[in-house]
Structure 1
Amino acid sequence: MMGPMLRRSTRWPFFIFMGGSMFCLLASTVCHLFTCHSKPLAILLMRIDYTGIAVMIATSFFPPIYYIFQCTPIWQWVYLGTISTLALVAVIVLFAPVCQTPRYRPFRTSLFLSMGASGLIPAVHAVATNWHEPLCGLAVAHEASMAALYALGAMIYVIRIPERWKPGMFDLGGHSHNLFHVLVIAGAYVHYRAAILFLEWSDSKVCS
């Protein structure tokens, strides 16, 4: 008797992640280019920028959760529904004018880090149920590297290294915001590589 045929997994979760990342980086680019135009436009663009960050975090969950839990759809809905709800709540909170002031810089960063940290629950669940898979260790290494890069970027952004040590020296380049963006792009690339692993694994997975 013939065994079950392998099927090609759907690609939309992968493209959701790619689209979310591109939206985030585009929103950030536009914000940095035109924030100096006027105060009303600056407020609008900062809100769009914050929305982009929340969207990127939420859409980053789609490839791993969809592909890893493809045989248990209930967990797909639970985890993807949870992160989508958290992203919506974060955007609503950050649209408050008071949250856009420099005083709330640590709060904004903590909110985004909390969204990312919520991924620990599905990550532990995924490892516990798939630890025997050959790609498990490599996938965990990718995702741990991504988390470390994002966390390092957030820490540098909040405590403002290195400009706090040499005020004025890094005004044009090399300041914390520059380093933050470099680390975010590096983290996104590592997660992209992990998403490819999840996709390839999903293509070879057969649900019983």
Structure 2
Amino acid sequence: MVMVGVVFLNAPRLLDWANSPPHLQFNKYVLTGYRPISPLGECVRSLFYLHNELGNIYTHGIPLLCFLFLLPLVIPWSQLSEPWLAVAHYLACVSPQLGSVLYHLFMNHEGGVAIYRTLLTLDMCGVCLVNTLGALPIIYCTLLCQPLLRTLALFSYAVLSSYAMYCALSAGSNVRRLRAFSWQACFRGALLLLRWLRLGAGSPGALRRYVLMEGLAAAGGFINIVRVPERWLPGAFDYCCNSHQIMHVLMVASILQLHWGVLEDLSWITGPRCPGPGASL
């Protein structure tokens, strides 16, 4: 408690939007609470005093620790004939949280724009990985009884994801970044439609999880783009409940839905689900 108190007492003077570094002026409705340009140690120390990025750090930092240590305990590793599905799922859940924490914690590093762009790239790589690796178990289980189509779908999604990653990393705005993932979302939507029409395989209960996953992710992306609620009351949500923090919470909820859906699918495929080689539902 003494150490925490000292850290709070020695917190640096925070900046307003106009005096913050230009590369950090990406939300004009957040008016105060910006950290000054700092060395590595000061960036880490910012975990222990209030500023406008603290909520962004903790809303992904706490889930990151939970996912890192708890997910391996609930995945049925010993029952899986295809362990790579579980590995892909684990990386999909962990990657966006890790990239986000690094980005928000060190974005005010004294390395300036160069470091910021590197961190932003890492953050976007995490988003790309959850969109790419997160869908692989869904594709595999949906087309479980159609091996040739399953292989083609996995390959096609990998190629599509590579293009989406290129577009996301080269995008100059949040709108373009969100648009980069739209084709992946359409691909996943087609898989969910196959399940709903009973033309695809998979656990019956997982479909609802995946629909919620897509809805929560889309809502989070939209809120982050339109900058609400801070757009309505600039300065009132500088430290808490602004659009980016809401997006973080919705993204964590989306990943949880993905996790619960994949767990149902992984348990579902442990039994004999197809009549024979090449059989379809």
Per the TM alignment, residue 166 of structure 1 is displaced from its structure 2 partner at its CA by 0.6
Considering fraction of residues, name the structure with more helix: 1
Q: Point out the more displaced range, 173-182 or 108-117.
A: 108-117
Question: Equivalent of 1:187, from 254, 258, 262?
Answer: 254
Per the TM alignment, residue 160 of structure 1 is displaced from its structure 2 partner at its CA by 0.8
Equivalent in the alignment of 1:65: 139
Which protein shows a greater Rg?
A: 2
In the alignment of these two chains, the number of paired residues is 195
Asked if the contact 2:80–2:266 (Cα under 8 Å) also holds between the matched residues in 1, the reply is: no
1:152-185 CA distance string (max 9 Å, x none)? 1111111111100110111112100000010000
Instruction: Work out the CA distance in 2 between the residues paired with 1:92 and 1:130.
Output: 32
Question: Equivalent of 2:195, from 110, 123, 126?
Answer: 126
Instruction: Work out the CA distance in 1 between the residues paired with 2:243 and 2:125.
Output: 21
Q: Which amino acid aligns with 1:181?
A: H
CA-atom RMSD in angstroms: 2.0
Equivalent in the alignment of 1:167: 234
Q: Which amino acid aligns with 1:186?
A: A
Q: Point out the more displaced range, 145-154 or 75-84.
A: 75-84
Equivalent in the alignment of 1:3: none
Instruction: Work out the CA distance in 2 between the residues paired with 1:110 and 1:94.
Output: 8
Equivalent in the alignment of 2:72: none
Asked if the contact 2:178–2:221 (Cα under 8 Å) also holds between the matched residues in 1, the reply is: yes
Asked if the contact 2:169–2:177 (Cα under 8 Å) also holds between the matched residues in 1, the reply is: no
Equivalent in the alignment of 2:185: 116
Instruction: Work out the CA distance in 1 between the residues paired with 2:101 and 2:142.
Output: 33
Asked if the contact 2:93–2:255 (Cα under 8 Å) also holds between the matched residues in 1, the reply is: yes
Instruction: Work out the CA distance in 2 between the residues paired with 1:52 and 1:8.
Output: 26
Instruction: Work out the CA distance in 1 between the residues paired with 2:213 and 2:116.
Output: 30
Equivalent in the alignment of 1:153: 220
Asked if the contact 1:24–1:49 (Cα under 8 Å) also holds between the matched residues in 2, the reply is: yes
Classify the secondary structure of the residue corresponding to 1:49.
helix
Equivalent in the alignment of 2:245: 178
Equivalent in the alignment of 1:4: none
Asked if the contact 1:68–1:198 (Cα under 8 Å) also holds between the matched residues in 2, the reply is: no
Instruction: Work out the CA distance in 2 between the residues paired with 1:45 and 1:201.
Output: 38
TM-score (norm 2): 0.64
| Alignment of 1:82 onto 2:82 | no
Asked if the contact 2:141–2:201 (Cα under 8 Å) also holds between the matched residues in 1, the reply is: no
Asked if the contact 2:168–2:178 (Cα under 8 Å) also holds between the matched residues in 1, the reply is: no
Per the TM alignment, residue 67 of structure 1 is displaced from its structure 2 partner at its CA by 2.3
Q: Point out the more displaced range, 104-113 or 55-64.
A: 104-113
Per the TM alignment, residue 55 of structure 1 is displaced from its structure 2 partner at its CA by 1.0
Instruction: Work out the CA distance in 1 between the residues paired with 2:201 and 2:187.
Output: 24
Q: Which runs of 5+ in 1 are unaligned?
A: 1-6
Which of 1 and 2 has higher RCO (CA within 8 Å, sep 6+)? 1
Asked if the contact 1:61–1:80 (Cα under 8 Å) also holds between the matched residues in 2, the reply is: no
